[in-house]
Amino acid sequence: MLGTLIVGLGRSGSGLHLPVLRGLGFGTGRALGRPPIVVFDPALADAPDRSDVLVARSLAHAATVLDPARTVVHLCTGPTARLRPLTELAELGFRRVLVEKPLAMDETELRDVLRLREQAGLDLLPVAQWRCSELTARIVGVLHGGRLGTVRSLSFQQRKPRFARTCAGDDHPSAFDVELPHSLSVALLLAGPAAVTEAGCADMLVGGAVFPGMGGAWLRLRHENGVLTEIRSDLTAPVRERRLTVGLDAGALVGHYPISSADDYAQLSVRTKGGQVDSVFRDDALAAFIARAYRHFACEEPLLDEPAIGASVVGLIADAKRLANLAAPVGTAP
C-alpha cells in the first residue's frame, strides 16, 4: 500500500489534490491501519492534524512518519519551486513524485531536474489531467475510428478571469505557465511532436497596476505530421471556457472541458455534413489522472511516455516565451 505526502498546500495542494485523494478513499482508513495523508507546508507547520491528515513539521519529519520507498509525493509547490524540494526529497529517499505542471520553469531548470531524476532514480510524473479526461478519450476514439478522416487542425480556447490570484501573487511568471501546459499535453497526444512557429502575450491591467505577461498568451504549433495547432489563453475574460476544436477531412469535433470542480461535466459535439451529434457526460479528469498515476507508481499500469511529454511541454513553452520576447523570467508588478 502506497503512502501519500502532499508538499505545498496552496490552490493545487489543498484545493485540488487533497479533495481528490479524499474522494478516492485515501486517508479514510487511518483507524484500520491505512497510512494517513501527510502534508507539509512551512506556513502550516503548526496546524492541528485533522482526522485524515497528519501535518509534518518538515520533509525530514515526513520521512519518519512515512516509508519514503513506499510513498507517492504530490509536489504542489509553485512553479518556480521545483528543483530544491525535489533535491531534498531525493536525499530523504522519496522516489515516486507527482509534479504539478509545469515540470520545470525553464530549460535550464529542466536539465537540472532530469539530471537529478537520472542520478537519484526518481520516477517523475508531471500532472497532465486532460490526457486522462473522458472528453479527450472520446475524441481519441473518434479519431481512431477514422470515419471523419485525418486531423488537419487543433484549436484550443481557454478563457477565465484570474485577477485575484494574479494580484495576490502565486508564483506564475507569465500567462504561458497557467493554462497552456494543459492544452499542449493534449495537442502532443493528438498530433505528435511539434515546433512553435508564432507566439505572443499581453499584460494584465487592474486599476493602476500592471502585471506583465499575465493578461493572456497564445501560440501556434506546426506538428511533424503537418497538423497546425493554435492555443489561446485569456486570463482577463469575464466568462470561463475551455474549448477544443478538432478540424478533420470530413467534419469537426468541438469539445468543452469542465470549467471548474464546481461542475465536472464535459460536452462533445460531432459535426459533419450530415448533421450534428451532441453529448454531455461526467468528466472528473484530475481524479482519473491521480488514480492512473497511483497505478503507474504501483507498477500496475506504467506510463511509458513520461516525463518525456512533460519535458516537451516545458521546451515548447520556453520557445513560445522567446518568440513573445519573454526570454527572461517575468515577475508580477508590486
pLDDT at 244: 98
**When comparing pLDDT for 162 and 171, which is higher?**
162
Dump pLDDT digits (tens) for 287-323: 999 999 999 999 999 998 999 999 999 999 999 999 9
Domain match, 178 and 316 both: yes
334 falls within a domain: no
Beta strands in the chain (DSSP E): 3-7, 37-40, 53-55, 71-75, 96-99, 123-126, 151-161, 194-206, 209-223, 228-234, 236-248, 251-256, 265-272, 275-282
Domain match, 191 and 229 both: yes
Round to whole Å and give the CA distance between 183 and 192: 13
77 falls within a domain: yes
Dump pLDDT digits (tens) for 92-137: 999 999 999 999 989 999 999 999 999 999 999 999 999 999 999 9
What confidence category does residue 28 fall into, taking pLDDT thresholds of 50, 70 and 90?
A: low
Give the end of a domain, one of 126, 157, 191: 126
CA angle, 315 as apex, 210 and 126 as ends, to 5°? Answer: 90
Cell 477531412 locates to 249
Domain match, 179 and 281 both: yes
Which structural domain range is residue 103 located in? 3-126
How large is the angle between the packed helices 83-91 and 107-120, nearest 10 degrees? 10
- In one-letter notation, the amino acid at residue 67 is D
Round to whole Å and give the CA distance between 28 and 256: 33
Domain match, 149 and 99 both: no
With pLDDT > 90 as the criterion, what percentage of the chain qualifies?
Answer: 81
Give the end of a domain, one of 126, 157, 186: 126
Domain match, 143 and 280 both: yes
Give the end of a domain, one of 80, 111, 126: 126
- In one-letter notation, the amino acid at residue 234 is D
Asked if residue 185 has pLDDT above 60, the reply is yes
330 falls within a domain: no
Q: Are 213 and 173 in contact (CB under 8 A)?
A: yes
Q: Are 178 and 332 in contact (CB under 8 A)?
A: no
Domain match, 140 and 122 both: no
Question: Whole-prediction pTM value?
Answer: 0.91
CATH of the domain at 216: 3.30.360.10
- In one-letter notation, the amino acid at residue 119 is Q
Round to whole Å and give the CA distance between 273 and 163: 41
15 falls within a domain: yes
When pLDDT is averaged across residues 24-43 and rounded to a whole number, the result is 74
What confidence category does residue 332 fall into, taking pLDDT thresholds of 50, 70 and 90?
A: very low
